[in-house]
Amino acid sequence: MKNQLVREAEGVSKRYSVAFKKQVVQELNKGLLNRVELREKYGIGGKSSITRWSEQFGNLHYKDKALVGRPMKDKLRQRIKELERQLEDEKFKVLAYETLIEVIKEEDGIDLLKKAPRQIISKLAQTRPRKVSRCCALFGLSKQAYYKQVKCKNENEAAWRQLKPFVLNLRRKLPRLGTRKLHYLLKEQGVAIGRDGLFELLRKENMLVPTRRKYVRTTNSSHWMRKYPNLVKDIELNRPEQIWVADITYLDTKAEGNVYLHLITDAYSKQIVGYELCDNMTAESTHKALKMALNERQYKDQALIHHSDRGLQYCSKLYTECLMANHIAISMTENGDPYENAVAERVNGILKDEFGLADQLNDIKEAMKQVEQSIFTYNHYRPHLSCSMLTPIQMHKQKKIKVKLYHQK
C-alpha cells in the first residue's frame, strides 16, 4: 500500500503553494532544520528550490551567490557578524597606516604625528566637530593647545596679508634679495615682524630665494707679464676708496653667446664704481671700466690700492701704466684662491643671483640695459650685512662705520 502511494506521488507533477513555501522558509529561518532536512521532510525536489524561496520570501538577503549559506537564526546575529568583519578590516587599515608612518620615520627621519597634528585634527574636525577632544588625545595634544595653534595660524595668515604688499614691492626692485636684508628693509618701513617669523612666512609662501651654482673661468694667469704681490692681505678696511677690487664675470646671451662684464668695486662701501660690458676680455675693455671709476672718484687726495687677480688684462702695460699715472698702488692675488679677492667675487654673485643676470638674455643690447638697471638698484637700494645694513651709496658717503669681516671657516 505504501509503495503504491509513493508511485502515485511520483506520477503527479509537484506544485507548491505560496503559503507552503513561506512555511518552509520560516522553519529554515528558525534554524531548526537545514535545507537537506527540509527537503527530506517535505519531499521537495530540486536542490536550489528552498534557496530561491528564501531569497523571495525570507528576511535574509545575500549579496552574491558565493555568500549563500545557512542563514543566521536572527538578524541581530548576522549584523554582529558583519560589524565584526568591518572592524577587522578597519583594524588592518590602522595597522597599515601605522606601519607607513613608522617606515617614513625610519627611512626619512620625518615624524608625521609630530610634524602636522594641527592640520590633521583640523581636517578631521571638518566632518566630526564633536570629536576634537578625542582627536587631540590621539596625538598627545590638549584641546587648549590645539585651539592655541589654530589661533596662531589665523594670526599668521592675517599678518601675511598685511605684510605681502610690502614684500612684493621690495621684490619688484630686488627680486632675489635675501631674507635678512628683506627683514631689515621691512623694519625700516615700520613693518613689525621677527626675522624667524619672516623666514617661516616666506617658506610657506614658497618665496625663499634658492641658491644658484654655476662657474665659468674668466681668468688667465698663465702669461709672461709681470705679476704684483698681494698688498691687501692684512689691511683693515676703515674708509671708502681705500681699496678697489676688480674682476670680470660673464653673461649668457642667445645672439652673441657669452659677453663679459668688467667690474670695479670699492671694498669698503661695496659700491660699484666702474663697469664695462662687451663681447671680449681684452685689456682695452677692462681699461674702460677703470676710466669710469677714476672719473667718479670722490676722495682723490686719499691713498688707493687696486686689487685684482693675475689675469693678463690687469697685468697689461695699458692697465698698469694707467694705475701708476693716477698714483694707485697695484695689488694682485697670489695663489688663485677666490677668498683673496672675496669682495669682487661676492659682488659678481649678488648681481647674478639677485638681479637676474644669471639668466640667458636675448642679446648684448638687452644685457646692457639690464646691467645698468641692476647696478643702479644695487648701489642705491641693496643693503649689506657687512656695512651695518647700509646701501653702498650710503656707506660710501661716510667713514665712521667699521666693516664687518666674514672669514673662511
Amino acid 136 reads: C
Residue 208 pLDDT level (bands cut at 50, 70, 90): confident
Q: Is the pLDDT assigned to residue 325 strictly greater than 50?
A: yes
Determine contact, residues 270/181, Cβ cutoff 8 Å: no
What average pLDDT does this structure show over 251-263?
91
CA end-to-end span of the chain, whole Å? 117
As a whole number, mean pLDDT of residues 336-363 equals 85
Q: What confidence tens digit (pLDDT) does each residue in 38-69 have? A: 888 778 888 788 888 888 877 655 555 554 55
Alpha helix (H) residue ranges in 220-363? 283-295, 312-315, 317-325, 342-355
Q: Which residue has the higher pLDDT, 301 or 130?
A: 301
- By the 8 A CB rule, do 244 and 306 touch? yes
pTM for the model stands at 0.56
pLDDT greater at residue 201 or residue 329: 329
Which distant-in-sequence residues (6+ apart) come within 8 Å of 73 by Cβ?
Answer: 29, 30, 31
pLDDT value of position 364 = 92
- At position 233, the amino acid (one-letter code) is K
- Quote the percentage of the chain above a pLDDT of 70: 85
Return the number of other C-beta atoms located less than 10 Å from residue 237's C-beta. Answer: 19
Mean pLDDT of 210-220: 53
In this prediction, residue 211 carries a pLDDT of: 65
Least confident interval from 199-208, 261-270, 332-341, 400-409: 400-409
Residue-level pLDDT at 248? 92
Mean pLDDT for the chain? Answer: 80
Q: Is residue 218 very low, low, confident or very high in pLDDT (cuts 50, 70, 90)?
A: very low
**Position with higher pLDDT, 130 vs 396:** 396
pLDDT of 5 reads 45
Helix (H, G, I), strand (E, B) or coil at 332: strand
pLDDT tens digits along 260-318: 999 999 999 999 999 999 998 888 999 999 999 999 999 999 999 999 988 888 889 99
- What is the rounded (10 degree) CA torsion for 80, 85, 87, 90? -160
- Extract the C-alpha cell encoding 261: 662684464
The pLDDT of 4-26, averaged and rounded, is: 63
The predicted pLDDT at position 264 comes to 95
pLDDT of residue 31: 75
* Confidence label for 13 from pLDDT (cuts 50, 70 and 90): very low
pLDDT higher than 60, residue 239: yes
Per-residue pLDDT at 113: 67
Cα–Cα nearest to 237, from 80, 387, 63: 387
Residue 246 has pLDDT above 80, yes or no: yes
Q: What are phi and psi of 259, to 5 degrees?
A: -120, 165
What's the mean pLDDT in 339-354?
87
**Above pLDDT 90, what percent of the chain?**
26
